[in-house]
C-alpha cells in the first residue's frame, strides 16, 4: 500500500475517494485525534481531500484544514499546532493523472514502518472506530500556515549580497520560494508560476530533461542560478549560472559539506555517490547510509550527531530546523551559499565526481529474483549489505541492485573511480540479475 514516499497511483484506479475515506478513518481510529490536512494543486485533490477529512471526522478526529500548500508547510504546521498527525493529498512529482497521500507524524517526519503497517492493516481489514452521530470530529481552517513557513525560512538564512534568481515553480505549490527570496532582496524571475494541477508548463518532476526552459532563461540573463520544485515543493534542484543542471549527488555533497564539521554525520540512502563521502572526509565528517526514501533518511537525520540528511531525488533535510524535506528552505540555503561563496559552477567543479551507471530491467517476479540475487552475491563477494536491496562494495567502487517499490522493475546502479571499471561493475550486476532470472524461471512449474 505504501511506497517509499506514501500512497500513490492513478486517480480512479488505485487512488479513489473510497481509499481516501478509508485512510482518513484509519488515521483517526489509530488515535490521531488532531490532524492537519493539506493538498497540492492537482485537479483531483479537492474530492480526495473532502473524502479523507470525512473519514477522519467520522471516527472522532478533529481536522485543521490548511488548504493548498506545500508538503513541508503541513509538516511544520503539525509541529507548531501540537497536532497528532498531518496528511497531505499529493502525488508529489508524479504526472497530473496521479494522486496520493503522505502521512506525517507529530514530529513532522513521515510515518515510520510500524505506523504505516497499522494504517494499512485497518484499510485492508475495514476495521474502524466509527462514531455515532454526536461523536464526529470538528473541522477548522488553519490560517496563516504558509505565512509562518515563509517567515521561518527567511529567518534561517542570511544573504548579504542577494543575487538574481530564476525560480521554476512548475505550476505547483512552491510559490513561497519566490516570495521569500524577493523579500530577502533577490531579483526574482518566476517560470510556471500559475498554480495549475494539470502541470501545463512542464512535467511535475524537475529533472535535467524537463528543465530546458529554466536552463535557457538562466543562461541568457544575468541570473546567478535557477531553482526548480516538484508539485508539492518538498524537492528542490538547481541549474548554475550557465544554465547547466547541477547533478543531484553534487548538490547533496555541497549541502552536506556546508552543514557538517569534524565529528558530524550526514544521512544519505544506499546508492548515493561516494563523491559525498569524499567531500565530507576532508572536513572530518562522515556518512551514515539508510534505506531509500526521504522518510528513512529523515528518521536517521533526527538522531544525535546527524546534522543533515539528503536524498539525490532532491529531498534535503536540516533536522535542527525541520525533519521534513523542505524545498523552499533548500532553495534559500543554496542561494545563501552562492551569495557567500559562488559562482555555483565553481562550487560544482570543486566536488570530485566519479563515473556512475544506472540501468533498469523489467522483472515480473522481482521478489523471488531479488532473493536469488542476495544468495548469489553473498557467495561471490565479501562486502555485501542487505539494508535495502543488495549493495556490493569493492575496493574501487560499488554496485546496488534494488527492486522498485511501485513498478515491476529492478534498478541497478554502479559507480567506480574510472569509466572502464564502472562498466565492468555494471556488467557484473547485470550478470547477477540475469542469472537470478534464469534460475527463478527454471524453478517455475
- Residues designated catalytic: 92
Q: What phi, psi does 4 have (nearest 5°)?
A: -70, -20
Q: Is the dihedral of CA 101, 102, 104, 110 positive or negative?
A: positive
| Residue 224: partners with Cβ closer than 8 Å, 6 or more residues away | 163, 164, 165, 241, 338, 339, 342, 343, 344
Distance between CA atoms of 53 and 69, rounded to whole angstroms? 16
Give the sheet arrangement for strand 397-403, strand by strand. 356-362, 409-416, 397-403, 390-394, 383-385
Residue 161: burial class (beta carbons within 10 Å; 0-12, 13-18, 19+): exposed
* Residue 413 bridge partners (DSSP): 358, 400
* Cell numbers for 182: 524577493
Contact 219, 242 (CB under 8 A): yes
Residue 283: burial class (beta carbons within 10 Å; 0-12, 13-18, 19+): middle
Q: Which residue has the cell 475515506?
A: 21
Distance between CA atoms of 403 and 383, rounded to whole angstroms? 20
* Residue 239 bridge partners (DSSP): 226, 245
Nearest to 252 by CA among 200, 192, 315, 208: 315
| Residue 43: partners with Cβ closer than 8 Å, 6 or more residues away | 96, 197, 198
Q: Which residue has the cell 565529528?
A: 263
Distance between CA atoms of 359 and 208, rounded to whole angstroms? 17
Amino acid at each position: 500500500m505504501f511506497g517509499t514516499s506514501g500512497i500513490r497511483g492513478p486517480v480512479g484506479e488505485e487512488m479513489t475517494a473510497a481509499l481516501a475515506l478509508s485512510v482518513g478513518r484509519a488515521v483517526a481510529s489509530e488515535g490521531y485525534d488532531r490532524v492537519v490536512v493539506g493538498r497540492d494543486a492537482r485537479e483531483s485533490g479537492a474530492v480526495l481531500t473532502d473524502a479523507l477529512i470525512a473519514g477522519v471526522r467520522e471516527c472522532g478526529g478533529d481536522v485543521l484544514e490548511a488548504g493548498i500548500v506545500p508538503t513541508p508547510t503541513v509538516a511544520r504546521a503539525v509541529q507548531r499546532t501540537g497536532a497528532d498527525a498531518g496528511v497531505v493529498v499529493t502525488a508529489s512529482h508524479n504526472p497530473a493523472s496521479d494522486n496520493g497521500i503522505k502521512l506525517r507524524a507529530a514530529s513532522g517526519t513521515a510515518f515510520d514502518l510500524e505506523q504505516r503497517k497499522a494504517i494499512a492493516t485497518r484499510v485492508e481489514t475495514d476495521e474502524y472506530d466509527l462514531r455515532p452521530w454526536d461523536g464526529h470530529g470538528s473541522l477548522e481552517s488553519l490560517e496563516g500556515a504558509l505565512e509562518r513557513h515563509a517567515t521561518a525560512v527567511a529567518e534561517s538564512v542570511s544573504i548579504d549580497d542577494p543575487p538574481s534568481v530564476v525560480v521554476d515553480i512548475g505550476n505547483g505549490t512552491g510559490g513561497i520560494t519566490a516570495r521569500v527570496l524577493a523579500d530577502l532582496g533577490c531579483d526574482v524571475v518566476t517560470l510556471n508560476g500559475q498554480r495549475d494541477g494539470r502541470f501545463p508548463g512542464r512535467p511535475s518532476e524537475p529533472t535535467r530533461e524537463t528543465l530546458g526552459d529554466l536552463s535557457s532563461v538562466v543562461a541568457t540573463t544575468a541570473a546567478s542560478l535557477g531553482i526548480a520544485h516538484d508539485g508539492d515543493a518538498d524537492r528542490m534542484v538547481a541549474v548554475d549560472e550557465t544554465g547547466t543542471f547541477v547533478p543531484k549527488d553534487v548538490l547533496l555533497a555541497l549541502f552536506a559539506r556546508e552543514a557538517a564539521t569534524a565529528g558530524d554525520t550526514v544521512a544519505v540512502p544506499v546508492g548515493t555517490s561516494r563523491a559525498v563521502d569524499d567531500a565530507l572526509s576532508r572536513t572530518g565528517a562522515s556518512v551514515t547510509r539508510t534505506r531509500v526514501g526521504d522518510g528513512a533518511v529523515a528518521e536517521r537525520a533526527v538522531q544525535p550527531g546527524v546534522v543533515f540528511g539528503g536524498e539525490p531525488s532532491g529531498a534535503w533535510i536540516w533536522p535542527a530546523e525541520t525533519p521534513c524535506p523542505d524545498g523552499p528552505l533548500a532553495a534559500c540555503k543554496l542561494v545563501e551559499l552562492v551569495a557567500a561563496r559562488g559562482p555555483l559552477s565553481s562550487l560544482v567543479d570543486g566536488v570530485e565526481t566519479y563515473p556512475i551507471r544506472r540501468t533498469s530491467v523489467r522483472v515480473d517476479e522481482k521478489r523471488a529474483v531479488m532473493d536469488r540475487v542476495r544468495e548469489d552475491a553473498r557467495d561471490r563477494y565479501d562486502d555485501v549489505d542487505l539494508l535495502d536491496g543488495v549493495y556490493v562494495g569493492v575496493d574501487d567502487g560499488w554496485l546496488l541492485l534494488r527492486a522498485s517499490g511501485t513498478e515491476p522493475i529492478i534498478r541497478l546502479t554502479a559507480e567506480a573511480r574510472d569509466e572502464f571499471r564502472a562498466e565492468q561493475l555494471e556488467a557484473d550486476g547485470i550478470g547477477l540479475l540475469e542469472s537470478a532470472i534464469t534460475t527463478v524461471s527454471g524453478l517455475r512449474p
